[in-house]
């Protein structure tokens, strides 16, 4: 099978991690950041929540906003009612940085998701040190042993893990390692097409006790309404907000649709 863009990106991150000589066993870190899962769960009574993303570029579309101001953009997201902010810290493929996350941390008091490609325990501990509330773990990029270990390290050091899946089989894997915060990426890894119907089928397989987040491809309130009605507690949106002339108003238009029932 032809390697996907994700495969290539993960390979570069594994090469970076192989050069990291730090011994994670001697590192002592503990987070006091707000819980992402708790913030999304507490919003259920008000309808769906929004995780708004600070995203400079994508591998498929190039620069979205090369010179964006992370502080200004994050503040506009919070003003629009975003329950959390996601920040890309991958520099090579997404133009992000750790500096972007730290700048955002200075201006908003909502939970932060570090959006990157986690391939080592040091990556998880780095996320804690940055002041993020959650780390991203992508099922298709990790072995089940890595997934379980990174998930446990995240929770034991005081942050949440958003476990990203693409289909029902991956959702079952996420549930098997005890994930209580699962993101369903609507975008196909090979074609990049958005498949809302597939995401809805995955949502139906996720117990209601788990916080479910729909990711990718949201360009309108109607698309968000559909995701909420299929049982997603929140949507993660980047491109639409980053390229908007009024991100505060656009975020507000994506918040608060009634959440349908799940398993």
User: Where in the sequence numbering do the catalytic residues fall?
Assistant: 53, 55, 115, 164, 185, 215-216
Count the alpha carbons within 13 Å of 50 in the hemisphere toward its beta carbon.
32
Give the number of other CB atoms < 10 A from CB of residue 146: 15
C-alpha triplet 250, 255, 261: angle, nearest 5°:
145
Tokens of 89: 């810290």
Among 168, 62, 150, 148, smallest CA distance to 114 is for 150
Residues in the chain: 263
Q: How far apart are CA 255 and CA 80, in angstroms?
A: 9
Instruction: Supply the DSSP string of 10-31, one letter for each residue.
Output: HHHHHHHHHT----GGG-----
CA distances from 101 to 73, 111, 137, 141, 234 (A): 12, 11, 18, 23, 21
Tokens of 217: 């491809």
Q: How far apart are CA 168 and CA 226, in angstroms?
A: 19
Q: How many helices (H) and strands (E) does the chain have?
A: 11, 10
Question: Which distant-in-sequence residues (6+ apart) come within 8 Å of 9 by Cβ?
Answer: 59, 90, 93, 117
3-state secondary structure of 246: coil
């Amino acid at each position: 099978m032809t390697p996907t863009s994700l495969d290539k990106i993960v390979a570069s991150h594994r090469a970076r991690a192989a050069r990291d000589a730090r011994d994670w066993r001697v590192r002592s870190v503990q987070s006091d950041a707000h819980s992402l899962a708790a913030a999304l769960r507490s919003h259920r009574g008000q309808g769906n929540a929004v995780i708004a993303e600070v995203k400079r570029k994508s591998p498929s579309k190039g620069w979205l906003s090369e010179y964006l101001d992370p502080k200004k953009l994050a503040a506009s997201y919070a003003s629009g009612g975003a329950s959390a902010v996601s920040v890309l810290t991958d520099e090579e493929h997404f133009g992000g940085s750790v500096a972007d996350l730290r700048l955002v941390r200075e201006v908003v008091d909502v939970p932060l998701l570090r959006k990157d490609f986690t391939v080592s325990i040091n990556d998880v501990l780095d996320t804690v040190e940055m002041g993020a509330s959650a780390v991203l773990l992508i099922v298709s990029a990790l072995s089940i042993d890595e997934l379980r270990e990174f998930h446990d390290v995240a929770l034991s050091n005081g942050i949440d893990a958003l476990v990203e899946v693409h289909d029902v089989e991956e959702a079952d894997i996420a549930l098997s390692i005890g994930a209580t915060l699962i993101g369903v990426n609507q975008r196909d890894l090979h074609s990049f097409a958005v498949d809302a119907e597939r995401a809805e089928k995955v949502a139906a397989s996720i117990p209601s006790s788990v916080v479910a987040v729909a990711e990718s491809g949201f360009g309108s309130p109607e698309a968000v309404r559909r995701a909420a009605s299929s049982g997603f507690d929140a949507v993660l949106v980047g491109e639409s907000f980053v390229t908007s002339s009024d991100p505060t108003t656009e975020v507000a238009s994506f918040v608060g649709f009634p959440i349908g029932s799940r398993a």
